[in-house]
Amino acid sequence: MTKRDNTRIDPKIDPRINPRGRKVKILATIGPASRSPEMLRKLFKAGADAFRVNMSHGNHDDHAKAIKAIRDLEKEFARPIAVLADLQGPKLRVGEFKEGRAVIRHSGHFTLDRDPTPGDETRVCLPHPELFGIMERGQRLLINDGKIKLIVKEADKERIFCTAEVGGVISDRKGVNVPDAEVPIPALTDKDRKDLAFAVQHGADWIALSFVQRPEDLAEARKLIAEHKGTNTALCAKIEKPMAVNRLSDIIDMADGIMVARGDLGVELEPYEVPPLQKKIVNATRRAGKPVIVATQMLESMIESPIPTRAEVSDVANAVYDGADAVMLSAESAAGEWPEESVAMMNAIALQIENDEGYKERVRLLETRPDATTSDALAHSCMTIADTVPISAITVFTSSGSTARRVSRERPDTPVLVLTPSVRTARRVALLWGAHAVVTKDIGSFEEMIAKGKRMALRHGFGVAGSKQIVLAGVPFGTPGSTNVLHVVTLSGKELDARGE
């Protein structure tokens, strides 16, 4: 293991916080309804394991205050909390209209052009020159979240002439989706570059990249993260474009994690195409051993109602059954009337599903074959041992988090206690299925490893005297990726007499 970070989570209250009792994680979006330190504290206590800072809304001052409040919660509860900064991405929009709006007739003609003159019911400016010349006859343009559907009839470098398959009211600056073409624009705008720099400088643990179409988009973002010295900042690719699905494997390889962003994905695809695609993305990411987040409209009605619909509960339940690492709340926690109740409801749903007698079988329906490495073989063995012998915890010593990801990929029935000297690693692990991270001092010997593993398991509620525990680590210590030791020990209860971490 490497030298521990200078940063340290210094608890102000009893640090022996028991784990949540569930394996799937909850990611809550911060917004006007939840930005205050008081509400963030309520959301954390209700079950939030990580917080999403939506860079599409608010300003840097607001975001900086929210991140500070989250770090204060870490100190208060001695619990690592992940911060995910979600970049806005290159949102395409139409120009403006003479009267602020117009009506496109069903089956009528409508033209998108490069003329900046305010539009009317027959045309409007499309201030994105990169779209002209790539559109082809028969391709779709979806406006205002798909409420208006245009079919391209003719296109050149100056105009895109369409027929309205579905007409309706169109107004200034409405969004445009292009589901049938790979748009030759970078995934990072000037705003995104500034927001990324801010997020890295303020210690964001994850950067979520919007509207990813190709793996090269991620390469550019990763280069920028490195330039801002965000060596420990993880990169999450949001899958919300059909073009990204075509290169899903390459994108997963380039990313540290994946978000199934069902909002725009549901606009560019037929609604009934999204559920099987969601399962495909979740499964592919799980096989790669990387965290996958299911997001958007999970408890949408709780923006205004204190209880969700039965269909929404089933939606969250299915994501949990599918083995997603995390489920996300968007407007429910950011701008809704019931942010605390939304988190508490998601927590209750997850607990109920994970206590279902069929959950273990369902979550392991996906075969995740270990790679031909010692580390993967040992991680797989942890699950096999835990299925055979009563085990209270799988305790993983890691500096980078890679060993924890390998164990989590197997979806063991036993909780995973992650011990790391790096607070940044602990925060990233906060989005990992089944993992409970604790920041602790580094170790220097096999004997110290075993003693610390026992002590931390007892101290953090992962066993009692007489419980068996699996300890997984790499020897020699301080060599990332060298996991080669698996040891089964029995807790005696005497370990708590030791002082320090």
Domain count, the chain: 3
Q: What is the pLDDT of residue 479?
A: 66
Examine the domain organization and report whether 454 and 305 are in the same domain. no
Domain closes at, from 177, 205, 227 = 177
Supply the CATH number for residue 428's domain: 3.40.1380.20
Residue 491 belongs to some domain of the structure: yes
Whether 500 has a pLDDT exceeding 60, the answer reads no
Examine the domain organization and report whether 62 and 112 are in the same domain. no
Which of 174, 238, 409, 452 is catalytic? The answer is: 238
The rounded Cα 416 to chain-centroid distance in angstroms is: 19
Report the side by side order of strands in the sheet with 92-93: 92-93, 175-177, 140-143, 148-155, 159-166, 109-113, 123-125
Domain limits at 317? 25-88+187-363
Residue 11 belongs to some domain of the structure: no
Rounded CA gap, 458 and 451, in Å? 11
Q: What is the pLDDT of residue 482?
A: 72
Question: Which secondary-structure segment (H or E) carries 345?
Answer: helix 339-354
* Residue of 7 and 155 predicted with greater confidence: 155
Residue 483: strand pairing partners:
474
Which of 42, 93, 114, 247 is catalytic? The answer is: 93
Residue positions counted in the chain: 501
Q: What is the pLDDT of residue 498?
A: 53
Examine the domain organization and report whether 195 and 296 are in the same domain. yes
Examine the domain organization and report whether 296 and 386 are in the same domain. no
User: Is 93 an annotated catalytic residue?
Assistant: yes
Which of 296, 398, 403, 440 is catalytic? The answer is: 296
Q: What is the pLDDT of residues 287-337, one digit of tens each?
A: 999 999 999 999 999 999 999 999 999 999 999 999 999 999 999 999 999
Q: What is the pLDDT of residues 431-453, one digit of tens each?
A: 999 999 999 998 888 899 999 99
Residue 16 confidence class, pLDDT cut points 50, 70, 90: very low
Residue 2 belongs to some domain of the structure: no
Rounded CA gap, 387 and 381, in Å? 10
Residue 450, CB-side half-sphere exposure with 13 Å CA sphere: 11
% pLDDT > 70, the chain: 93
Residue 111: strand pairing partners:
123, 161
Q: What is the pLDDT of residues 403-417, one digit of tens each?
A: 999 999 999 999 999
Examine the domain organization and report whether 404 and 467 are in the same domain. yes
Rounded CA gap, 236 and 209, in Å? 6
Which of 25, 52, 241, 409 is catalytic? The answer is: 52
**CA-to-CA dists, residue 51 to 54, 95, 104, 330, angstroms:** 10, 34, 40, 10
Burial class (CB in 10 A: 0-12, 13-18, 19+), 160: buried
Examine the domain organization and report whether 225 and 313 are in the same domain. yes
Other C-beta atoms closer than 10 Å to the C-beta of 2 total 15
Examine the domain organization and report whether 440 and 313 are in the same domain. no
Which whole number is the average pLDDT over 68-84?
Answer: 96
User: Is 310 an annotated catalytic residue?
Assistant: no
Residue 9 belongs to some domain of the structure: no
Residue 492 confidence class, pLDDT cut points 50, 70, 90: confident
Rounded CA gap, 9 and 398, in Å? 17
Examine the domain organization and report whether 389 and 349 are in the same domain. no
Examine the domain organization and report whether 256 and 340 are in the same domain. yes
User: Is 238 an annotated catalytic residue?
Assistant: yes
Rounded CA gap, 198 and 193, in Å? 9
Whether 19 has a pLDDT exceeding 90, the answer reads no
Examine the domain organization and report whether 244 and 286 are in the same domain. yes
Rounded CA gap, 399 and 490, in Å? 24
Supply the CATH number for residue 170's domain: 2.40.33.10
Which whole number is the average pLDDT over 353-379?
Answer: 92
Rounded CA gap, 66 and 60, in Å? 10
Examine the domain organization and report whether 382 and 288 are in the same domain. no
